[in-house]
Chains A and B, each alone.
Chain A
Amino acid sequence: MSEVLAAAERAWDPADLVAAAASPHSAPRLRIRMGVGDRPLVGLGELVFAGDAVVQRLRDPVVEEVRLGRHPAPPAGTLVEAGVPLAGLRRPAPRFAAGGRTLHVTPGGVLRAVTARHTETVHAPAAGKVEALGPAGVTIRADAIGVGGVLAIGDPTFGRLVIAVRRPEDELPLPEINVGAAGAILVAGARIDVEALTRARAMGVRGVIVGGVVGRDLRSFAASEARQRASFHTSQSFALLVLDGFGKRPIPPLAWALLLAADGGDVGISSDPPMVLLDAATVAATAFADRVRVVADEALGRTGRVVEIVGRRRLPAGAMAMVARVALDGAGPGRSPEERLIPLADLERLEP
């Protein structure tokens, strides 16, 4: 019997206990959400290209009511145009002051619709095929590879990728965001603050990709975006994609390698799911066999190699957890190679 167990143990690699980093998604499904009054501008099965208009969205929608009288109720979700009598009804047919979509008829015979005087357009972040079309959104199967993030704010966008920092742990200096970056999607390193985001928006940047963001900056920027949307000024789409979490967090190595490979090419940012969309032929130039990355605490972002699984150890603050001895690289200023005991939960393998 011990032979059976011993054979199983020999085939066992302790490194398998370390979670693998998320792999890039091949041909990801992208969802572009629609409000109740929005209308799709594409059909089911249609091929779209990056930048194609896919959804017409109502700005500042309101609920409007008209009395139907003796007219039959139109089907729920019927499109209405501003000032145009409802299609299919005898004259004088009711009409709404602005365009949108019908909701329902109240028991008192009042037809409700959600309408808006202004609309804006949402564009496809990547080429692909419309795979699903429903009242709540459009789903596109993208002809791209998607590198997932943890959070995206803003609308889907696309543009030329510009790596604006030298290393994944760097931060983008404010003066380096200028009009030369108009139309680009900037890779901004480990963190971006609200001033840099606002400046990027003002300079015509289409999107920003970062490793981390401070929640307070995110909140300020979201408020600024809401104010901009509330104005009558129509602005181009802009998205912020956060790849790793909150605070200052270096861009994960595999994502960094893929972004480097895609530098200068056209890429997109999807907000649902949050991901950057790269050309399907993009291949990372770096191999990460047996490499791990520290994903929490003071060694956050450092990479290295598992020397051994040490076993269960008591950690600072008293918790017990499985721990590995990791040889950390010395890359970066002030960082020399060293060995540390790190909980397995705080490590991730860079290759599956």
Chain B
Amino acid sequence: MTAFPPVFFTVDHGTASTAAALIVSVGGRFRLTGSGAQPAGVPVEPLLTGLAAEVRALDAGLLAGVTSPPLEWRRIESATRTPPRAVVCGASSASASAAEAAVASSGWKIVGRVGPDRGQAGIGTQHCLDPDVELIVVAAGDPLGKGEREGLANLVNLVAAALDRRDDGVDVLLLGGAATSAAALPGERVVLGPAAATEPDAAPHPLLALLQTLAAAHRDRIGGTSGRPDGRRALIAATRSLAIRLDRRVELVDIGASAGLRVLADSFGLRGSMVWADAALVPPEVIDDDRSADQVLEWSTIHADQASLRDRVRNLALAPWRGVAGDGSRLRLAAARSALSRLDAAWHLPDEGDRPADYGADLLVASGGAFAVAPAPAVAMALLDTLRRPGSKALALDHARILGPLGGLDDEDERGRLLDDLYEDALVPLGSVIVATGLRAGRHLDALRLTTSDGATSQLELVPSAVQLVDLPPGVAATAELTTRDGAWLGVRARHFAVAVVGGLGGLLVDTREFPLRLPERPERRRDLLDAWQRPLWAGADL
């Protein structure tokens, strides 16, 4: 294992912003001493020097033993880039849909869908000739489905003709029964893969691994991350390591400018992962498509005319780091909510034997530029609104974005040692959430009794269909006991529950709203309701 120097930087190069943190060994333990972020494209050196100056101004003793200037200190880096683009050609609509789901969940942006019909021959060839398309996927069932044989032959001829005209080399992935047509295509870039499952999920499987490998190979070919580890793969590795170190089920969501990521791991390893280009903070489609912009605005609490708000969403897509104050912060978090809800809609885990899939997690970590400039309690509420499932969990924020750089370290022991030292500094505790559904309004009052580790108790009357905020400061552990007359649903139905919770900047959020959450159709009512739920969590903010 490499010995780490007593002082080093972590740098996460995102597609829209760069985050850096200064790590210093204090009393034999690495501590996070300062962090900052700036728009991508700005040289990182002034940020690093500024961090060193800030830390020295705060406590000169921390850097007392350092003999070299900051720009010579070691940097642990990771970098993400815009997802590569793919076209999916399906011999049947079922094969195409299954392949699309698999391709989209492995970090590719699907820019075209092609069927075997005559009407799609022109546009299909156009997609396959597009030099910006880096992968052509031809999908069919295995064995070939009814009517797929002719469609597949048509598609293969279309792709072969397009490849004849392209001289820049593009990968062609033949899935399932499409592999039988491999001989009809130029061999250098043809890759064979298994048929995509009809209902694909995020669990590790060979096709997902193959698609991720192709994406990584493409990234290496173009040098997109300048030799730095890929930030999204690094976050997956960091989540796995964190789950092992904490011996907990850990879930991580990362919302960036070009894609969203979701990972679930436990002490046995990775349970599921998904890189979803359509879960970017603001999808590029908003520029041309009002409906895409309106999907973002469904989560907005800002009062203004729809045309102006759409333009604000478009400006957010053009420059995601701008407009950090006032309504800009609320709009960014509305976009983050929209991205999280898209990510959640695409997130499926396989059943475990005869039991349904377990989506639960002990700890949910948020990461990415989307959460960089929002108040911590508001981030907690955004996670609750969009990723809610009955039960309880703790929430945390990777505020300095150091999990990516740490996850990029090849050596698991090295990564684990740094995580052991740093996870408390790196993960800002946002608090805990309890989602309890099925409460009924009536004469009999349901209640929550909170007993902290130091013996203090408090009681709260549970209000059905509401979000209640209970003060529970960071560092305080407690037991929450829910007592109901008619029972509640927290993953199981019972009248009495006792769950362990931890405090955070957002305290304890008790959510008794219906599951799944249904919001009013009318924009004004929807906005008012969202505002009512969110307002207490922007406490102290000038709204």
Contact = CB atoms under 8 A, between A and B. Distances in A.
A22 to B, nearest CB: 9
- Among A17, A18, A137, A322, find the residue whose CB has the most chain B CB atoms closer than 10 A: A17
Interface string A297-323: 100000000000001000111111110
A104 interface: yes
A137 B165 CA distance: 12
Interface stretch (A5-13, A169-177, A224-232): A5-13
Contacts of B164: 75-77
A222 B129 CA distance: 25
B157 A107 contact: yes
Interface string A267-311: 000000000000000000000000000011100000000000001
B328 interface: yes
B325 A297 contact: yes
B516 interface: no
Contacts, number: 211
A105 B164 CA distance: 13
A234 interface: no
Interface stretch (B193-201, B313-321, B340-348): B313-321
B307 A214 contact: yes
A318 B374 contact: yes
A141 B540 CA distance: 54
A345 B122 contact: no
A114 B453 CA distance: 74
A143 interface: no
B329 A317 contact: yes
Interface string A107-151: 100001010000000000000000000111100000000000011
Contact of B542 (A65, A215, A247, A317): A317
A61 B125 contact: no
A40 interface: no
A12 to B, nearest CB: 4
A9 B321 CA distance: 26
Contacts of A114: 121-122, 125
A35 interface: yes
- Among B66, B153, B168, B311, find the residue whose CB has the most chain A CB atoms closer than 10 A: B311
B283 to A, nearest CB: 15
B269 interface: no
B49 A12 contact: yes
Interface string B216-239: 000000000000000000000000
B122 A321 contact: no
Interface residues on B, range: 35 or more
A5 B56 CA distance: 8
B68 interface: yes
Given A103-B122, A343-B324, A215 B310 contact: yes
B154 A345 contact: no
Interface string B138-161: 000000000000100110011011
Given A13-B46, A151-B287, A318-B375, A135 B165 contact: yes
A23 B66 CA distance: 38
Interface string A308-352: 000100011111111000000000000000000001111000000
B538 A317 contact: yes
A105 B60 contact: no
A134 B167 contact: yes
A1 B161 contact: no
B36 interface: yes
Interface string A73-85: 0011100000000
Contacts of B290: 215, 219
A136 B314 contact: no
A105 B161 CA distance: 8
Contacts of B125: 36, 103-104, 114
B3 interface: no
A216 B542 contact: no
Interface in B157-178: 157-158, 160-162, 164-168
Tell me what chain B mostly uses at the interface: helix, strand, loop, or mixed: helix
Contacts of A245: 314-315, 318-319
B325 A321 contact: yes
A65 B118 contact: yes
B47 to A, nearest CB: 6
A16 B43 contact: yes
Contacts of A319: 324-325, 329, 373-375
Contact of B42 (A13, A17, A61, A65): A17
Contact of B325 (A1, A36, A112, A343): A343
Tell me what chain A mostly uses at the interface: helix, strand, loop, or mixed: mixed
- Among A13, A18, A107, find the residue whose CB has the most chain B CB atoms closer than 10 A: A107
Interface in A7-57: 7-9, 11-14, 16-20, 35-37
Contact of B311 (A13, A247, A346): A247
A16 B46 contact: yes
A4 B69 CA distance: 6
Contact of A1 (B66, B315, B324): B66
B336 interface: no
Nearest to A298: B326
A247 B308 contact: yes
Interface in A222-250: 245-247
Nearest to B56: A5
Contact of B307 (A13, A103, A215): A215
A297 B328 contact: yes
Contacts of B126: 35-36, 136
A60 B419 CA distance: 59
B479 to A, nearest CB: 30
Nearest to B57: A9
A14 B38 CA distance: 13
A346 B318 contact: no
A89 interface: no
Interface string B63-97: 11111111100000000000000000000000000
Given A36-B126, A77-B161, 14 more contacts: A2-B60, A7-B69, A14-B46, A16-B42, A76-B160, A103-B122, A106-B153, A134-B165, A315-B325, A316-B329, A317-B329, A317-B543, A319-B324, A319-B373
Interface of A: 1-2, 4-5, 7-9, 11-14, 16-20, 35-37, 61-63, 65, 75-77, 103-107, 112, 114, 134-137, 150-151, 214-216, 219, 245-247, 295-297, 311, 315-322, 343-346
12 contacts: A4-B68, A8-B49, A12-B49, A19-B38, A20-B42, A103-B121, A245-B319, A296-B324, A297-B323, A318-B378, A345-B38, A346-B324
Interface of B: 36, 38-39, 41-43, 45-47, 49-50, 52-54, 56, 60, 63-71, 118-119, 121-122, 125-126, 129-131, 150, 153-154, 157-158, 160-162, 164-168, 287, 290, 293, 307-308, 310-312, 314-315, 318-319, 321-330, 373-375, 378, 538, 540-543
Q: Which 5 A-B pairs have the closest CB atoms?
A: A318-B541, A76-B161, A104-B161, A16-B46, A318-B375
